[in-house]
Chains A and B, each alone.
Chain A
Amino acid sequence: MAGTGSFLGGVHPPEGKQYSEHQAIEVVPTPKQVMVLLSQHLGKPCEPKVAKKDKVTAGQMIGSVEAFVSAPVHSPVNGTVKDITLAPHPVIGRTMAIAIDTDPADNTPKRPAAERFGRDFRPEQYTAQQICEAIAQGGLVGMGGAGFPTRVKVEPNPAMPKDTLVINGCECEPFITCDYRVMLEWTWQVMAGIRLAARASGCSKVLIGIEVNKPDAIRVFEQAAAELKDAFKMQVVPLRTKYPQGGERQLITSILGKQVATGGIPPAIGICVLNVATCAAIAEAVVLNQPLTHRVVTVTGRAIARPGNYYVPVGMSVADLIEHCGGLTETAAKVIFGGPMMGPAIADLSQPITKTSGAVTLLTAEDVTRAKFEKRQTACIRCGRCLAACPEHLNPTRIAHAIKYGRLDVAENYYMAACIECGCCSYVCPANIELTGYIKTGKLQKARAAKKLG
């Protein structure tokens, strides 16, 4: 069964990619200090492996933990450990982090490695085990979203054999363009990563999903795929431009016409999904032995002087990054850690960039007013728009209102757990109810209650 290139539900927010889509990836100068969070992945947080005043070098492993679902962290710079302390985390509030003062004498910024990869790259030089090991050592996590450790995804699992590798090049979130630039500028590095991942996971089929609003990326990848004569089939699948096309579950439906069961995971139906930036990181980790310490971050919106795509050390603060981009404009009103649909708004700009943060979006007072405050909130008029927009086919208003009135049991009965927090329901709601906000709160309450019991 093949997919239709789309899924049921979803919304069409304004794309807003024009601010940064034509800006080539730019290397930022090394900041004076970086703050490397010890929890940048889904799973158990790392423990620090260095002490205060220790000298560290770029790429050195500075935190890790013994757990299956985990990924070590590395220093992006040469310098000295200044402190091991609490730092802001966009989702869980605060978490431990290692603060490193960079060595002013030795702070040439790391450059992207794309030119080291070409069409003649041969993935056969590496065994599946070598590849998995390098991915694990490099601290790779899914760079498009939740930050699931890549090793766990790629490594063959006899209980759930994988046959299809789906590459996520959708970048459906409005404003963000980092994956798009990576696809255009680092095409062969991404290709190398894809081929390594296919080899390691044992997948015989590779499908690359790209939204049709990125015709350049589709063309480049189609050409590249045609030039390679790999043992597995590699195919570029153009997908309808719709949010959240890049949601893992939606992507699988669009490309393959298959549905991941509620509460299930893609490997259960033989699928492994990787984001393009993650593939680029795989190539770097396996071939060059370089861990994930830098990533491309889109800084965008109307409230920033120089929007663009920047090659940023993981751990650089949002404030430093904004400063490098010319600073906020007078009208800045909201700083979003990520894109406008899913990214949390932050007030503390000392927030460090993480492995999963693809963007910092700066909205003006006007943007914010237009979106939220100008239209007063009313009661739910039961119009059903949130139901129609929900890509997981839930009943957002029922769930959100149950949570509002303290009925977690009712919310669960309406499958609160299946919500992917995409924000489509809040986006369409004419009554301007923060449906997604309520549902996130409900999930947190549920998690807390479960912790108390367990």
Chain B
Amino acid sequence: MLSKITVTPAPHISSKLSTQTIMLDVIIALTPAIGAAVIFFHDRALVLIGSCVLACLWTERICNWIRKQPSTIGDLSAVVTGIILALSLPPAMPWWAAVMGGAFAIAIVKVLFGGLGGNIFNPAMAARAFLTACFGVLMTTWTAPATIDAAMPQMGPMQTEAITQATPLAWAKMAVKKETSTETLKAQLSKTFWGNEGGCLGETSALALLVGGAYLLWRKTITWHIPLTVLAAAAAFSAVFYFIDPSRYANPLFHILSGGMLLGALFIATDPVTAPLTSKGMLVFGAGVGALIMLIRIIGEYPEGVMYAVLVMNALAPLIDRAFKMVPAGGIPNVK
């Protein structure tokens, strides 16, 4: 009987959480957004999500073989990376480019930096940056959802299948210049919320993203710190510009609901591996992401800034952690 007795360090019980259940929660939370992408982009969405996820899983498995490790795909983190990468790609992206992105995300950004937990940059965002660098044109060719009725003004002539269309953000930049009526702006805003919007796969429906984010918060998979500060900082930043000149700048609500803002705030900036550990650090990190997104959107060249904002703050996360050390409950001891 004694031979069966095991000895391990205390504690001898543990919570039900595991890395796998956390990743599974994120996947569950992403399903509304995946659903929205499939509804609006049909098979394009399925092809892209499928190729990204498979590319990520296979790359991770192959890296395991090369490094003679046991398989790590069971932790599901590669699936999450794949889905998020796919959701941040434009629908017209060819599948092989998506596969390249997935392979880059895992092999270069994650495994080379030490695998799960070791990477500095969010793999999906770094891969997206890589794709932007390689295929600049593909990455900025936006397709309107197949169901769109081409009601948006100032868009080029209708094409047969995919309508090449500016994203609402680029459109907003353009539209305000052409002094579009407020009604059109309002219509645009409601579309952004419900979906049916030009842009990347996962950016089309704010509602789907909010539902997923609410689920993550309810499950305590993420805390409020990062999403709230990202959105608050972005809103504050855009509000300043909006009040200075409402005719030139879009209103804050529009900025928050459109583009990759919600996907970024709820699913990308909250990636625990690449965000700070401490809650104070998270607040600073989130505020930095939000402010950078707006800086890039309003002042920078690109209409969309989530990717660069996240990558820049990822690089700063270790510094932020060092700056906001945990203070012990009993205060900092006088003598060390």
Contacts and interface: CB of A to CB of B under 8 A. Distances in A.
Contacts of B22: 381, 383, 430
B323 interface: no
Contact of A434 (B9, B118, B279, B333): B9
A336 B6 CA distance: 10
A371 B278 contact: no
Contacts of B11: 13, 340-342, 423, 426-427, 436
Contact of A382 (B75, B223, B272, B327): B272
B336 A412 contact: yes
Contacts of A174: 13
A349 B325 CA distance: 43
Interface hub of A361, A414, A431, A436 (most chain B Cβ within 10 A): A431
Given A11-B15, A334-B12, A380-B117, A395 B330 contact: no
B36 to A, nearest CB: 27
B299 interface: no
B6 A379 contact: no
Contacts of B114: 379
B2 interface: yes
A380 B273 CA distance: 8
A340 B13 contact: yes
A417 B330 CA distance: 12
A378 B22 CA distance: 12
B275 interface: yes
A421 B19 CA distance: 23
B116 A262 contact: no
A259 B21 contact: no
Given A342-B10, A379-B118, A395-B325, A428 B15 contact: yes
A363 interface: yes
B132 to A, nearest CB: 26
Contact of A378 (B13, B19, B330): B19
B18 A432 contact: yes
B18 A430 contact: yes
Nearest to A9: B329
A24 interface: no
Interface in A390-406: 390-395, 397-398
Interface in B43-80: 72, 74-75, 77
Contacts of B10: 336, 338, 340-345, 421, 423, 426, 436-437
B331 interface: yes
Nearest to B335: A263
B277 A397 contact: yes
A371 B326 contact: no
Contacts of A398: 277
Given A378-B116, A398-B277, A347 B72 contact: no
A384 B279 contact: yes
Contact of A431 (B7, B19, B275, B277): B19
Contact of B329 (A382, A383, A391): A391
A332 B333 CA distance: 44
A393 B117 contact: no
Interface string B258-285: 0000000000000011010111001000
A334 B278 CA distance: 35
A305 interface: no
Interface residues of B, number: 48
Interface string A309-335: 000000000000000000010001111
Interface in B196-247: 223
Q: At the interface, is chain B mostly helix, strand, loop or mixed?
A: loop
B116 A379 contact: yes
B12 A340 contact: yes
A264 interface: yes
A430 B330 contact: no
Nearest to A262: B330
B272 A383 contact: yes
A336 B279 CA distance: 35
B156 to A, nearest CB: 45
B13 A392 contact: no
Given A375-B20, A395-B325, A430-B22, A260 B13 contact: no
Nearest to A264: B330
A256 B273 CA distance: 38
A381 B19 contact: yes
A67 to B, nearest CB: 24
Contact of A392 (B77, B116, B329): B329
A9 B279 CA distance: 13
Interface string B121-145: 0000000000000000000000000
Contacts of A368: 6, 12
Contacts of B116: 378-379, 381
Interface in B1-38: 1-2, 4-15, 17-22
Interface string A408-440: 000010110110010100111111101011001
A261 B333 contact: yes
A371 B272 CA distance: 23
A452 interface: no
Contact of B6 (A8, A333, A397, A429): A333
A436 B10 CA distance: 7
Interface string B305-334: 000000000000000000001111111110
Given A332-B4, A394-B328, A371 B14 contact: yes
A371 B329 contact: no
Contacts of B332: 262
Contacts of B4: 332-333, 365
30 contacts: A8-B329, A333-B6, A334-B5, A334-B6, A334-B8, A340-B12, A341-B11, A363-B12, A368-B12, A375-B14, A376-B18, A376-B74, A378-B75, A378-B116, A381-B77, A381-B117, A381-B272, A382-B272, A383-B272, A384-B277, A384-B279, A385-B17, A387-B326, A397-B277, A415-B326, A418-B333, A426-B10, A427-B11, A428-B15, A429-B17
Interface of A: 7-9, 11, 13-14, 174, 249, 253, 259-264, 328, 332-336, 338, 340-347, 349, 361, 363, 365, 367-368, 371-372, 375-376, 378-385, 387-388, 390-395, 397-398, 412, 414-415, 417-418, 421, 423, 426-432, 434, 436-437, 440
Interface of B: 1-2, 4-15, 17-22, 72, 74-75, 77, 114-118, 223, 272-273, 275, 277-279, 282, 325-333, 335-336
Given A8-B329, A372-B8, A376-B74, 4 more contacts: A262-B329, A390-B326, A426-B9, A430-B19
Closest 4 pairs (CB-CB, A-B): A437-B9, A262-B330, A423-B11, A379-B117
